[in-house]
Amino acid sequence: MPRAAGKHSPAPLNLDAVDTADRLYASLADWHETVTDELDLSPYMPTAYVAGKRLQGISTQHAHSAATMAGRISTHLDRACIYEWSGEMVTELCDVVRAALKRYPDEERPLYLPTPCPACDMLSLVRTAPQAFMGRAVISCRTCKETIAEDLYAWHARRVLEEMAEREEDEVPA
Ligand SMILES: [Zn+2]
């Protein structure tokens, strides 16, 4: 029975993220079941999934099941493609994944830095997070394409701030 408005305790986590994960998992599990049945594959019962029942968040076991189901669908995708429902499956799975990635990107967004570019003086330096494990962040200028090694950025920022302070001193009328 739903509680009256204003009687909810604050949730200890982002429920929208849980709902998004549930939608992804449920959609994958539904299509996995269709592929398994229609292609007469060996049965695989994903973790705690009951068709038609609403899920309440996913665990590491669900993540393992999701990877297994995605792998099974992927392996048999060429055989599944002859069925009428395959277009709907691809569209739906792409839609739920796209919606989840839009809300929760799996890459860190580029960060504009507060220091002007040493080459063109524009405030257009951007730090892009490493794109691979043990990779390096890239600091580059969106205006002139100058790049700065991340370990030199602190030195660069200090130098630019000192130059700006000197310019301000020079501009103060005597
Ligand atoms: Zn520049």
pLDDT digits (tens, 9 = 90+) for 76-98: 999 999 999 999 999 999 999 99
Q: How far is the CA of 137 from the centre of ligand 1 (A)?
A: 17
> Is 68 domain-assigned?
yes
Q: Is 125 helix (H, G, I), strand (E, B) or coil?
A: strand
> Is 7 domain-assigned?
no
> Is 57 domain-assigned?
yes
Kindly state whether residues 21 and 96 are assigned to the same domain: yes
pLDDT at residue 1 in the model: 44
Local confidence band at 56 (pLDDT 50, 70, 90 cut-offs): low
Kindly state whether residues 124 and 52 are assigned to the same domain: no
What is the number of domains present in the chain? 2
Kindly state whether residues 76 and 133 are assigned to the same domain: no
**pLDDT of residue 2 exceeding 50:** no
> Is 92 domain-assigned?
yes
Domain that holds residue 88: 15-103
Which whole-number Å values give the CA distances from 162 to 117, 147, 152, 158, in the listed order?
Answer: 14, 21, 16, 6
> Is 10 domain-assigned?
no
Q: How far is the CA of 142 from the centre of ligand 1 (A)?
A: 7
> Is 96 domain-assigned?
yes
**pLDDT of residue 33 exceeding 90:** yes
Residues, CB-to-ion distance under 5 Å, ligand 1: 117, 119-120, 141, 143-144, 146
**pLDDT of residue 112 exceeding 90:** yes
Q: How far is the CA of 134 from the centre of ligand 1 (A)?
A: 27
pLDDT at residue 34 in the model: 96
Taking the alpha carbons of 130, 135, 139, 142 in that order, is the dihedral positive or negative? Answer: negative
Kindly state whether residues 19 and 99 are assigned to the same domain: yes
**What mean pLDDT is reported for the chain?**
84
Of 59, 79, 103, which closes a domain? 103
pLDDT at residue 3 in the model: 46
Q: How far is the CA of 140 from the centre of ligand 1 (A)?
A: 8
**pLDDT of residue 139 exceeding 60:** yes
**pLDDT of residue 144 exceeding 90:** yes
